Amino acid sequence: MVTPGDTLARSGLYRKIADAEFLSTPESAIAASYSADDSEQARNCGLCDLTPVIRTGWRGKTAAEHLQSLGYPVPENPNQALTKDSGETLVRLSRTEFWVLGSLQDMGTAVTEAARQPSPGSDCYPLFCQDSHAWLMLSGDHCAGVMAKLCGVDMRAQSFPPGSVAQTSVARINAIVVHHQVAGTDVFSLLFDAGYHAYLWDVLQDAMAEFSGAPVGVRAFGI
């Protein structure tokens, strides 16, 4: 059985989620399941720590062209996201800054391979968001209700449809919120300073309590 203590890198939550069953990832271990009811929980109101999944980014005037050459769909405008059939999600944060979130199907292995490809000679620089930012994912019918307690942005579906991105404050910390789908389930991915990993995990669980929310593992999404 894999445990976070056996791996090279650990999630900042590894003590808080020690009761989960874990799967190995290329660099760490990720919570696979908490109970047999994880799938149902994820459809209602679930919280999943995806920090061990590989992600990366690029910035510069030629970053969009570079990403297109790697086979990624590039959103037309900032604060938009597009997801490939293979599960990777490309997030456009500005005219020149892009993040790529790895797929749960391979835990980000394809993103690692993309990051190894040579960048254009100028105006395209890598971003190391794998190290700087934690990644939590809300799922289920009550995502907008949970976020309404913590954030001033209206994240109901009519105002914040899939493909929307908000760079905002969540529970008084800066965060990127991405509305996308994983295995056909609407989710909100939250990316934020890794130093607040445990703090935001606790805050989100408190906000979810009204909706009978609970942590879930990646097996809830067909992994």
Residue 120: pLDDT band (50, 70, 90) is confident
Q: Over the stretch 28-84, which tens digit does the pLDDT of each residue have?
A: 899 999 999 999 999 999 999 999 999 999 999 999 999 999 999 999 999 999 999
DSSP character string of 113-159: HHHTSPPPSSS-EEE-HHHHEEEEEEESTTHHHHHHTT-SS--STTT
pLDDT of residue 26: 82
The answer on 148 and 47 residing in a single domain is: yes
The answer on 144 and 46 residing in a single domain is: yes
The answer on 72 and 29 residing in a single domain is: no
Q: Over the stretch 158-194, which tens digit does the pLDDT of each residue have?
A: 999 999 999 999 999 999 999 999 988 899 999 999 9
The answer on 217 and 136 residing in a single domain is: yes
Q: Which residue has the higher pLDDT, 121 or 45?
A: 45
pLDDT of residue 49: 97
Burial 126-139 (b: 16+ CB within 10 A, else e): ebebbeebbbbbbb
pLDDT of residue 1 exceeding 70, the answer is no
The answer on 217 and 166 residing in a single domain is: yes
The answer on 109 and 89 residing in a single domain is: yes
Q: With contact defined as beta carbons under 8 Å apart, do 179 and 160 qualify? A: yes
The answer on 119 and 106 residing in a single domain is: yes
The answer on 197 and 154 residing in a single domain is: yes
Domain that holds residue 126: 55-130
The answer on 114 and 48 residing in a single domain is: no
Residue 12: pLDDT band (50, 70, 90) is confident
Check which CATH number belongs to the domain holding 40 and give it: 3.30.1360.120
Q: Which two tokens stand for residue 147?
A: 């976020």
Q: Which residue has the higher pLDDT, 8 or 202?
A: 202
Check which CATH number belongs to the domain holding 99 and give it: 3.30.70.1400
Boundary-marking domain end, from 78, 106, 130? 130
Q: What is the mean pLDDT of the chain?
A: 94
Residue 27: pLDDT band (50, 70, 90) is confident
Boundary-marking domain end, from 107, 130, 153? 130
How many domains, the chain?
A: 2
The answer on 217 and 143 residing in a single domain is: yes
Alpha-helical (H) ranges within 31-103 are 38-45, 63-69
pLDDT of residue 202: 98
pLDDT of residue 196 exceeding 70, the answer is yes
- Which range has the worst mean pLDDT, 14-18, 19-23, 49-53, 89-93? 14-18
pLDDT of residue 2: 76
The answer on 48 and 136 residing in a single domain is: yes
What is the rounded CA–CA span in Å between residue 90 and residue 83?
Answer: 6
Looking at residues 124-133, what average pLDDT do you find? 93
The answer on 48 and 150 residing in a single domain is: yes
